[in-house]
Amino acid sequence: MNASDSPTDRSLPILQPFQPQPGHAVKPPVDPATLIHRQLRGGDFWREIPAYKDVDEATFLDHRWQSKHSITRPDKLLHTIRELASPEFIADAEAGFHRAPMSVRLSPYIVALIDWQNPYADPLRRQFVPLGSRLLPDHPKLDLDSLHEQADSPTPGLTHRYPDKALFLTLDTCPVYCRYCTRSYAVGVDTDEVHKVSLKAKVDRWENIFAYVASRPELEDIVISGGDAYNLRAEQITLIGERLLGIPHIRRMRFASKGPAVMPQKILSDDEWLRALVGVVAHGRKLHKDVALHTHFNHPNEITEISQRAMNRLVEHGVHVRNQSVLLRGVNDTVESMGLLVKRMSYINVHGYYVYQHDLVKGVEDLRTTIATSVELEKQVRGMTAGYNSPLFIVDAPGGGGKRDVHSFEHYNPITGVSVYRSPNVKRDAFYCYFDPIDLLPEEGRARWADPSQHDAIVDEAIEAARGRQR
Ligand SMILES: *Cc1c(COP(=O)(O)O)cnc(C)c1O
Ligand code: SF4
């Protein structure tokens, strides 16, 4: 395998000009603007960043260079962009980092894709660089492990919530750190705000997970997540993959990694890692088991010619890629941005699988949006492209309810922002509430949340309304 393997060109047969047929309908020609999903950023765009102006293509495409030059300290980032961004922005980012619960890590690839002349509006900046001026108070119903992953955990790093599938947290590091991370209770290093639960990449811990999985015949499907599977070494990918493939009742596996979205260079230049992944996929195929890669693109600007080359390489090796986005305010919460993301992913063979309603996570209220927004986006996006590339918009119900179609609420009050879901496969009779961010509620809703003595009543009345619908 090498980075330059490309499909052979085949010349196309010569076609006759199209003849309009009487009595048949021909659509009007399309506006070329509807095809911009095919225009991927190419060339040496990174040279616009002063710190990377002398970096040639071979170096920029080397995953070791990307890792080594990833920015892990706020002052380092602020130093890299100081000639590009205004002093006001730099001060604002300094204040933001100081109050953030997540660690900092950005790949040069992401740094180069951010428009630092316009950093307030930039959809990638919003995901990775917190700003003091934009932070909002947390929702009063928020807690750090909002999904109760630890409550459904029989052994450290395994969450067994659903009947036939489980979530395996293999390690606690990632190639980048996202502000909105749901696992900020574990992922990354301790910050000023949060002491983390430890989930290191340790074979002893994994052995107990393999033993548990083997002891539960109902399990067929394992999500191998983290942190991020990109940070597993090649031999760890092989070990985990082979041990799980060896358990007869395991039929499906997915390696979860944000890597393709934030450092596609690894797929192009880390041949050992790719060989390990492809090896597990190929062995799974021989055993008639499905092994896929799940990734995490959030915005069309993350998809460049480099991403396309990386995805081409995966396609050539028979690795299927599905995508799980997070719905983020100011990033992908419009029909234009979400529609373009879905079309562009389809174009590079990435299947849109899920768009998650943002979980209730500390310190990122400015990135959350409402259930109503998600419902409307789903309506507008479905039908733009193939159904199997059209993501399902879901909410992972706080309190351990699991994933629910956003449309499936029993009750939703857009004034208080409370939606109520049921999850019969998790707990037959329980009700689970999701809370829209307070700053997006109408005046009446904001006033009620401003009074703490109202909080229980707001929740009780929503659950009562949901219960009423059951009768
Ligand atoms: C998301 C998740 C899964 C996988 O669910 P799918 O809907 O099949 O993608 C499994 N276990 C847990 C705990 C999860 O959060
Ligand atoms: S890559 Fe995933 S696990 Fe890691 S910080 Fe981002 S969202 Fe969290």
Domain boundaries, the chain: 45-128, 150-408, 409-471
Tokens (6 digits) for 471: 């009768």
| Ligand 2 center from residue 170 Cα (angstroms) | 13
Q: How far apart are CA 209 and CA 223, in angstroms?
A: 12
Q: Please, are residues 255 and 297 in contact by the beta-carbon 8 Å criterion? A: no
Question: Which of 124, 228, 298 has the most ligand 2 atoms within 8 A of CB, as the residue to mutate?
Answer: 228
| Ligand 2 center from residue 319 Cα (angstroms) | 22
Q: Is the pLDDT of residue 226 over 80?
A: yes
Percent above pLDDT 70 for the chain: 94
Contacts of residue 195, Cβ cutoff 8 Å, sequence gap at least 6: none
227 lines ligand 2 (CB under 6 A): yes
| Ligand 2 center from residue 234 Cα (angstroms) | 20
| Ligand 1 center from residue 289 Cα (angstroms) | 18
Question: Which of 183, 293, 294, 359 has the most ligand 2 atoms within 8 A of CB, as the residue to mutate?
Answer: 183
Question: Rg of the chain's alpha carbons, rounded to an integer?
Answer: 23
Q: Could you tell me the pLDDT band of residue 57, with boundaries at 50, 70 and 90?
A: very high
Nearest CA to ligand 2 atom 6: 178
Nearest CA to ligand 1 atom 12: 167
Residue list, ligand 1 pocket, CB within 6 Å: 159, 161-162, 165-167, 223, 403
Question: Which of 104, 149, 177 has the most ligand 2 atoms within 8 A of CB, as the residue to mutate?
Answer: 177
pLDDT in tens, 283-322: 999 999 999 999 999 999 999 999 999 999 999 999 999 9
Q: Tell me what pLDDT residue 113 has.
A: 98
Q: Tell me what pLDDT residue 145 has.
A: 62
228 lines ligand 2 (CB under 6 A): yes
Q: Tell me what pLDDT residue 74 has.
A: 87
Nearest CA to ligand 2 atom 8: 181
| Ligand 1 center from residue 62 Cα (angstroms) | 33
Q: Tell me what pLDDT residue 364 has.
A: 92
Give backbone dihedrals phi and psi of 327, rounded to 5 degrees, phi first. -75, 120
- Within a 10 A sphere around the Cβ of 64, how many other Cβ atoms? 12
Q: Which CATH fold would you assign to the domain 150-408?
A: TIM Barrel (3.20.20)
**Which residue's structure tokens are 């606690």?**
172
Q: For residue 329, which of 298, 306, 287, 351 has the smallest C-alpha distance?
A: 298
Q: Could you tell me the pLDDT band of residue 8, with boundaries at 50, 70 and 90?
A: low
| Ligand 1 center from residue 166 Cα (angstroms) | 7
pLDDT in tens, 239-261: 999 999 999 999 999 999 999 99
Q: How far apart are CA 289 and CA 310, in angstroms?
A: 24
Q: For residue 47, which of 62, 57, 39, 32 has the smallest C-alpha distance?
A: 57
- Ligand minimally distant from the alpha carbon of residue 253: 1
pLDDT in tens, 347-379: 999 999 999 999 998 889 999 999 999 999 999
Nearest CA to ligand 2 atom 5: 177
183 lines ligand 2 (CB under 6 A): yes
Bridging pattern class, strands 392-397 and 427-435: unpaired
| Ligand 1 center from residue 84 Cα (angstroms) | 41
Q: What is the mean pLDDT of residues 191-200?
A: 69
DSSP 119-187: TTT-HHHHHH---GGG--PPPTT--TTTT-TTTT-SBTTEE--SSSEEEEE--S--SS--TT-TTTTTS
**Ligand 2 atom nearest to 262, measured from its CA:** 1
Contacts of residue 339, Cβ cutoff 8 Å, sequence gap at least 6: 380, 381, 384
Q: Tell me what pLDDT residue 5 has.
A: 47
Strands in 252-256's sheet, in edge-to-edge order, are: 158-159, 165-169, 221-225, 252-256, 290-295, 321-326, 350-356, 392-397, 402-405
Percent above pLDDT 90 for the chain: 80
| Ligand 1 center from residue 285 Cα (angstroms) | 22
Q: For the chain, what is the mean pLDDT?
A: 92
Q: Tell me what pLDDT residue 73 has.
A: 87
pTM metric for this prediction: 0.94
